[in-house]
């Protein structure tokens, strides 16, 4: 009798604080008895534990304690991705225990200890929704795989098993199971999780993403302004830093199965915040402009393990940005800034660089050996391969990959000098006052920050004036070059054609080209310095000798002149160390 009293007293002392603290299963939706607090519960059954446990004749197929459910016996579709190193098999162990209710194949009231179903009224299995995972687990965090030191070393961004601390745990076979993250009897942290997901503390128990601690998505306290769709529809947290991983990922029933993204379209996982409703800059608006990196045009093509040189044309936000690494740190050209931190690139020799060191290496992934877009202008030299066009051994180039070759550029405005380096993004970027940095979208050709006219004869006709025409048609150039200096130099060398009939794009290649000094169509290399690379729809080779520039007579030939000999060419005065621009 004394032992019985002691036992009753022990049970009472154990359960009372648990109930008071709100940690008892009695106060959770896993209490499926008639006394349960949830909407899904039995109509008359008063026992609480019977839905999972029985003291006699229990099932041991799942290795669970006194298990009172049958094995679902289902064949599950498993999670997979190109970056998955674990050998994920059919669910076993304690995960089968959870799935005996949560895959929706077995009636909630079907227990081994009772020959008849426990009644749940009109409900048989879990209703369709987030708690009914079904047999397709491809959109759920994988379970029932061995997590050992070899896997952690192979992945590189997983903690070693010895560093996984309670309350997260592996099962007795060193496998990840549902119970690694969930405790069925305790709902203190919501969703029966073993610890808080605030700031993704639960995820950090196993995952150790490179760069993450200093990334903006880890540290930002930005909140949703209430407009549009709630970006954090599956959490109760209200800041970017608190949502952390769940800004983009959902551990169960993810909209984008691969890598458990919230949405199936890659860009939606970024634009649900970068649409002006959370992040300060509205990127989504830029991506609706005429010229853009069209992330909406591709779905399911980008892959985390794709090579640096794109094989299949596409563009997604993550081709240029690493959401686990991106931050607001600034840099000087050509070094990558924080927004492009941790991204794969392609160097000047065509080799992969991971991570990219220079901004242009990220651009080369698409705009080099497999040009993403055809050139807007057909030119005398060059093949549209930006990696080749910016080679330091070339005759001339804008100083992206190396400082420029011209020691005297009198038209430059401060702070630019002949030794300056620049970003691709100094020319290519969103247009308009207050627009976010980067080439997301623009109303100008080729995603340029300012207008750049490539028309054949953009100023043909009356009413032209030098400075006004230049600033109207090529304001991009005059962000760095002085319009008065350029006007003076070019008026004298173009025979009156510059500004009146043609302009910057006719004679100059804004990038550079793969010409080597002394090999330009038989002409001396000096003839093609200063980015000279003619638009062949305006200037063509001399029909007599095939030369693009007649160095001896200092001439080039416009297509509008019906010349029969080289004496009818338009005079073009060129001097390497004389009139420099």
d(CA 483, CA 25): 77
Coil, strand or helix: which one is 54?
coil
Which DSSP string corresponds to 95-117?
A: HHHHHHHHTS-S-TT--TT-SSP
Coil, strand or helix: which one is 374?
coil
Quote the tokens at residue 18.
């648990």
For residues 207 and 160, the answer to whether their CB atoms sit within 8 Å is no
Rg of the chain (C-alpha set): 34
d(CA 506, CA 326): 39
For residues 192 and 24, the answer to whether their CB atoms sit within 8 Å is no
Quote the tokens at residue 89.
């098999």
Q: Is 546 left (phi over 0), alpha (psi -120 to 50) or beta?
A: left
d(CA 438, CA 336): 12
Coil, strand or helix: which one is 332?
coil
Helices 483-493, 466-473: axis angle to 10 degrees equals 110
For residues 220 and 42, the answer to whether their CB atoms sit within 8 Å is no
Does this model's pTM top 0.85? My answer is: yes
User: How many beta carbons lie within 10 A of that of residue 231, not counting itself?
Assistant: 22
Return the beta strands (E) in 60-104 as ranges.
Answer: none
Chain centroid, CA 10 distance in Å = 56
d(CA 208, CA 337): 23
H-run or E-run covering 281: none
For residues 443 and 467, the answer to whether their CB atoms sit within 8 Å is no
Cis previous bond, 490, omega within 30: no
For residues 65 and 57, the answer to whether their CB atoms sit within 8 Å is no
For residues 180 and 195, the answer to whether their CB atoms sit within 8 Å is no
d(CA 110, CA 356): 57
Query: Which residues are CB-neighbours of 311 under 8 A, at least 6 positions away?
Result: 370
H-run or E-run covering 540: strand 539-540
For residues 565 and 515, the answer to whether their CB atoms sit within 8 Å is no
Instruction: Tell me the sheet residues that pair with 207.
Output: 158
Return the beta strands (E) in 222-329 as ranges.
Answer: 291-292
d(CA 453, CA 456): 9
**Cα dist from 353 to 83, 310, 347, 356, 358, whole Å:** 19, 14, 6, 5, 10
Quote the tokens at residue 547.
């030369």
**Cα dist from 304 to 141, 154, 164, 322, 343, whole Å:** 18, 16, 26, 10, 10
Q: What is the pLDDT of residue 574?
A: 39
For residues 318 and 271, the answer to whether their CB atoms sit within 8 Å is no
Q: What is the pLDDT of residue 64?
A: 65
The DSSP secondary-structure symbol of 182 reads: B
Chain centroid, CA 342 distance in Å = 11
Coil, strand or helix: which one is 77?
strand
Return the beta strands (E) in 111-166 as ranges.
Answer: 145-146
Return the beta strands (E) in 255-313 as ranges.
Answer: 291-292
Coil, strand or helix: which one is 166?
coil
d(CA 427, CA 442): 11
Q: What is the pLDDT of residue 567?
A: 42
For residues 273 and 279, the answer to whether their CB atoms sit within 8 Å is yes
Q: What is the pLDDT of residue 519?
A: 44
Q: pLDDT digit of tens for each residue in the chain (581 aa)? A: 444 433 333 333 334 334 434 468 999 999 999 999 999 999 999 999 999 999 988 876 655 678 999 888 899 999 999 999 999 999 999 999 999 999 999 999 999 999 999 999 999 999 999 999 999 999 999 999 999 999 999 988 999 999 999 999 999 999 999 999 999 999 999 999 999 999 999 999 999 999 999 999 999 999 999 999 999 999 999 999 999 999 999 999 999 898 999 999 999 999 999 999 999 999 999 999 999 999 999 999 999 999 999 889 999 999 999 999 999 999 999 999 999 999 999 999 999 999 999 999 999 999 999 877 888 898 887 767 899 999 998 888 999 999 998 888 989 999 999 999 999 999 999 999 999 999 999 999 999 999 998 887 665 555 556 667 777 888 999 999 998 888 888 877 776 667 667 788 888 999 987 665 444 333 344 556 788 888 888 887 777 777 777 655 566 777 765 444 444 344 343 333 333 22
Measured on CA atoms in the order 474, 477, 482, 486, is the torsion positive or negative?
negative
- Dmax over CA atoms of the chain, in Å, equals 125
**Cα dist from 442 to 73, 296, 433, whole Å:** 56, 15, 12
């Amino acid at each position: 009798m004394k032992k019985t009293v002691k036992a009753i007293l022990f049970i009472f002392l154990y359960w009372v604080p648990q109930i008071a603290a709100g940690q008892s299963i009695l106060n959770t939706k896993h209490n499926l008895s008639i006394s349960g607090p949830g909407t899904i519960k039995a109509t008359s059954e008063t026992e609480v534990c019977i839905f999972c446990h029985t003291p006699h004749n229990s099932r041991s197929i799942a290795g669970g304690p006194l298990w009172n459910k049958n094995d679902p016996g289902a064949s599950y579709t498993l999670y997979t991705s190109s970056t998955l190193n674990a050998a994920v098999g059919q669910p076993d162990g304690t995960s089968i225990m959870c799935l005996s209710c949560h895959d929706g194949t077995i009636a909630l009231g079907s227990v081994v200890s009772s020959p008849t179903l426990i009644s749940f009224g009109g409900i048989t299995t879990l209703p369709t929704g987030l708690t009914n995972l079904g047999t397709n687990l491809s959109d759920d965090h994988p379970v029932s795989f061995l997590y050992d030191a070899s896997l952690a070393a192979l992945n590189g961004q997983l903690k070693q098993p010895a560093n996984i601390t309670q309350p997260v745990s592996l099962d007795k076979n060193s496998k990840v199971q549902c119970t690694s993250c969930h405790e069925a009897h305790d709902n203190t942290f919501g969703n029966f999780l073993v610890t808080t997901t605030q700031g993704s503390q639960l995820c950090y128990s196993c995952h150790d993403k490179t760069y993450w601690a200093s990334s903006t998505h880890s540290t930002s306290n930005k909140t949703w302004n209430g407009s549009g769709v709630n970006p954090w529809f599956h959490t109760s947290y209200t800041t970017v830093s608190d949502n952390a991983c769940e800004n983009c990922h959902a551990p169960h029933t993810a909209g984008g199965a691969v890598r458990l993204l919230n949405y199936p379209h890659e860009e939606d996982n970024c634009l649900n915040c970068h649409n002006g409703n959370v992040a300060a800059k509205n990127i989504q608006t830029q991506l609706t402009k005429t010229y853009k990196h069209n992330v909406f045009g591709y779905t399911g093509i980008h892959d985390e393990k794709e090579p640096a040189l794109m094989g299949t044309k596409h563009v997604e936000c993550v081709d240029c940005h690493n959401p686990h690494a991106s931050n607001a740190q600034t840099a000087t050209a050509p070094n990558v800034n924080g927004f492009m931190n941790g991204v794969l690139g392609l160097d000047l020799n065509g080799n992969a660089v991971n991570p990219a060191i220079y901004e242009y290496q990220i651009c080369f992934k698409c705009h080099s050996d497999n040009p993403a877009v055809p050139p807007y202008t057909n030119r005398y030299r060059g093949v549209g391969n930006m990696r080749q066009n910016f080679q330091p051994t070339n005759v001339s180039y804008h100083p992206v990959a190396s400082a420029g070759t011209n020691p005297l550029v009198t038209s430059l405005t401060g702070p630019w000098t002949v030794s300056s380096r620049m970003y691709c993004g100094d020319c290519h970027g969103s247009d308009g006052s207050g627009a976010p940095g980067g080439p997301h979208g623009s109303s100008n050709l080729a995603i340029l920050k300012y207008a750049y006219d490539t028309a054949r004869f953009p100023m043909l006709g009356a009413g032209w004036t030098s400075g006004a025409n230049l600033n109207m048609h090529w304001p991009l150039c005059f962000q760095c070059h002085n319009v008065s200096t350029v006007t003076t130099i070019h008026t004298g060398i173009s025979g009156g054609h510059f500004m009146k009939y043609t302009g910057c794009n006719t004679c100059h290649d804004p990038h550079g080209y793969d010409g080597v000094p002394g090999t330009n169509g038989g002409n001396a290399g000096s003839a093609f310095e200063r980015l000279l690379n003619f638009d062949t729809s305006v200037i063509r080779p001399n029909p007599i000798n095939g030369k693009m520039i007649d160095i001896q007579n200092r001439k080039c030939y416009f297509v509008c002149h019906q010349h029969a000999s080289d004496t009818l060419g338009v005079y073009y005065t060129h001097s390497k160390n004389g009139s420099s621009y």
